[in-house]
Structure 1
């Protein structure tokens, strides 16, 4: 495909799962690039077709093509999780395909896996292709500067809170417990953000365990402790938010140890092309619900529970104004970086700090051994997390230190105070 612009051609690739604001980036990149004299090519389905050496699934983008979609959810270019860095042949095909398209510039939009793929395009192209990556994930787990979210997170949290608040009201109305599993493979930002803003009864994330093992027993007992505490006040309902990353923290061995041959009831242990467990294949909420029910039966306590996964509903939502503005900044910043002298020296992840574009070098962001960025996790020592914990209803040390409170809690499950301490006291140590 011959170049039609004297300044060259810019290609756009979207990888990974959807997030609100992808079209905002595509729109901003396209408009600014065309205004700067570039031709823009959109590639369909991420690296999938390029890795197969197929350039037929590309399209020339114009301003009228993208302008109406700047504030719409989804991706007009689709997306995929194809990892061209996994096989040398796939990467050669990507480079050959981009050369056939006449691409001198590449904007990748995605998470850490897509960032790594983009970094390898830059490295193996030997300077022929300049690369800028726009970080995207509703998990907010990429190591951007402090206080800077990944685009899509704020929209996902906003809509997640609305859904959680509705379920919370349903729980109160019908006297039941909802167990929500929120997306967040490597970090609990989304779960905590939803739980805190929706005034969930309790939110559980992997980071709170610090160096302690994460087990199904502990997760169930934290929730049961909340149920007992609520019941002691005459309230038989509540809302629990669980980060899906708890599954990986438990690990395959932990799941097998707890469930044995029953594990296959809750899905398979499949992995994606990047080696991640397909968490969506595991019915974690139903698993925890069933395990809690077994434990409640032993305790002689009853509760109606409903489990619900929360995440796919959020990924293709129309972005809220924060992400509409943010993605325009990021798209503009990506083009500005690619046309700067700095892009001759390194490929970068685009970030904005204090209103100014800040390119972050691939080599400074991606850990060579893991081929991924180091996850940005929730700081469980921060006042922000401390505040979240203070407004949760869960067993605390003070409940065991106060004889009156301890007796009230023990009475709910017909235990003596000593028996209650022996059964649940480990949770507050």
Structure 2
């Protein structure tokens, strides 16, 4: 595959000059640090099942680094492959840059190749040797266009065998998988297979997802979350300013976040809209969809009574799966569609598919399905993604809420109650945030993650996720190491079957960020406390250019004192 020339903007030319700051532990290269084994680990849940699946890589120790001479890793040149997997996230190119520099500084004869188009590139053995000449155009840039990405999942015995054969054919010593929870679960499966086959090859993961749901004690945030939420916050802030100027519309803004509400909460902190729906809270309180709507209507009516017929509502894209009755419906639909796939495929009309699938649902869920607006019901039956999940980005939850709000306000007026004035506009901010030029935080973080992955590889470690933490401090103070991929796993049902997956991190309702939100949301609801953060700043005072997320600030506030 040919490498295309890249046209660049004035800003991109300046960003090339940006030199990421490495943590002090890594600044002298891989030959100056040694890995230190910590405690033996276990999976977060379903331990016996996870251990049975990952017989060869389960129970690995945590890894940290200490300063010390480690010249042995420079004695043999290695060939490392990198693959970008899943959706794009700002900073992916800097992961490659950090990996490249970490390898070359340790031994100039080390080689880095990039598989094209995601995991399918591994199966098709499509790759290119990465050189500084090629890479220099992509440092500190957004997107994944350098080697592109894809959502192919390596899961069949034939695919695992082909992966092994291609790694052997290309003399690859290590594979670095840059991806989210599903992609890194796949990395663990590949690592396990290669171990079972007694091949001395390393597999290392790098945590990527703008959704922010790949996090734990050791992965404090996934890369891209900082940049994406800053981009969304600029857009939402602009709408807040517009709504405060025109004062005649309610804006319902759906934000990315398939499985968790981290993006909505973070953008809420940065812009202070009138309503921020947090799916995890709705699930915890077991709210029905009608109750969610009633809560929105309550704010609309109170603001209208004060002469304020305008406002801003943030809706996480995965909201519909957090509403218990809808979550149950979707789960049952997933199984029903999987079990009746051939029959459903032969039905040409959407109405026909809906009528048929309703016969396969329990009575209450069938009634719920029939009660939904036809557009939403149709969207719930769309083809699942490669991991068996409903494609929530295609479900227009904001339109469902608006339709139900209109209906509730009409009912209030029929009962001679105050229904207020309500005119709504919808937005979906998703792809706008995935490929932005990374913020200084993400540029530094991704470079460190890639460099750290190089150190893990050079020390012959496999089955680990690159971990850089202590992120609320300056990059020089960040701590580095690796955590076993199996440590984060549990069992989930996919396509009607139990599968090992890295557990998604939801918004912690007992955590400091959510508690801070609860303290402020009533004030936001009835006032105009809007914040207008503006675009990401790359040049200027460090307080502006290097700020990280409010989420990290609140989570680590006690550690910074």
Q: TM-score, normalised by structure 1?
A: 0.84
Q: Match of 1:251?
A: 327
State the shift of 1:323 in Å. 0.2
Q: Match of 2:86?
A: 16
Is 1:317 the equivalent of 2:433?
no
Q: Label 1:59 to 1:47 Cα distance change in 2 as closer, same or farther (>3 A).
A: same
CA–CA distance in 2 between the matches of 1:318 and 1:128? Answer: 37
Determine helix, strand or coil for the equivalent of 1:357: strand
8 Å contact 1:270–1:281 — kept in the other structure?
no
Is 1:152 the equivalent of 2:281?
no
CA–CA distance in 2 between the matches of 1:293 and 1:276? Answer: 30
8 Å contact 2:258–2:393 — kept in the other structure?
no
CA–CA distance in 2 between the matches of 1:83 and 1:21? Answer: 22
Q: Match of 1:123?
A: 192
Paired residues for 1:217-228 under 5 Å:
217-228=290-301
**Structure 1 residue runs without a partner (length 5+):** 397-429
CA–CA distance in 2 between the matches of 1:319 and 1:256? Answer: 45
CA–CA distance in 2 between the matches of 1:28 and 1:257? Answer: 54
CA–CA distance in 1 between the matches of 2:244 and 2:295? Answer: 20
CA–CA distance in 2 between the matches of 1:257 and 1:30? Answer: 56
Paired residues for 1:140-179 under 5 Å:
140-145=212-217, 148-174=220-246, 175-179=248-252
Paired residue for 1:83, among 131, 143, 153?
153
Q: Match of 2:105?
A: 35
Paired residue for 1:265, among 349, 358, 375?
375
CA deviation vs aligned residue, 1:294-325 (integer Å, no higher than 9, x gap)? 22222233311111111211001111100000
Q: Label 1:166 to 1:294 Cα distance change in 2 as closer, same or farther (>3 A).
A: same
Determine helix, strand or coil for the equivalent of 2:177: strand
State the shift of 1:144 in Å. 2.9
Is 1:187 the equivalent of 2:254?
no
Q: TM-score, normalised by structure 2?
A: 0.65
Determine helix, strand or coil for the equivalent of 1:352: strand
8 Å contact 1:269–1:282 — kept in the other structure?
no
8 Å contact 1:269–1:277 — kept in the other structure?
yes
Q: Match of 1:388?
A: 517
Answer 1 or 2: higher relative contact order, Cα 8 Å, separation at least 6. Answer: 2
Moved more, 369-378 or 307-316: 369-378
Determine helix, strand or coil for the equivalent of 1:144: coil
Is 1:291 the equivalent of 2:291?
no
Q: Match of 2:209?
A: 137
Q: Match of 2:459?
A: 340
CA–CA distance in 1 between the matches of 2:133 and 2:277? Answer: 45
State the shift of 1:258 in Å. 4.3
State the shift of 1:395 in Å. 11
CA deviation vs aligned residue, 1:137-157 (integer Å, no higher than 9, x gap)? 111111332682111001111
8 Å contact 1:16–1:114 — kept in the other structure?
yes
Q: Match of 2:547?
A: none
Q: Match of 2:178?
A: 109
**Structure 2 residue runs without a partner (length 5+):** 1-74, 331-364, 414-418, 471-477, 493-498, 526-561
Paired residue for 2:448, among 329, 338, 363?
329
8 Å contact 1:104–1:129 — kept in the other structure?
yes
CA–CA distance in 1 between the matches of 2:113 and 2:297? Answer: 54
CA–CA distance in 1 between the matches of 2:287 and 2:160? Answer: 38
Paired residue for 2:487, among 364, 377, 387?
364
CA–CA distance in 1 between the matches of 2:166 and 2:191? Answer: 14
Moved more, 76-85 or 295-304: 295-304
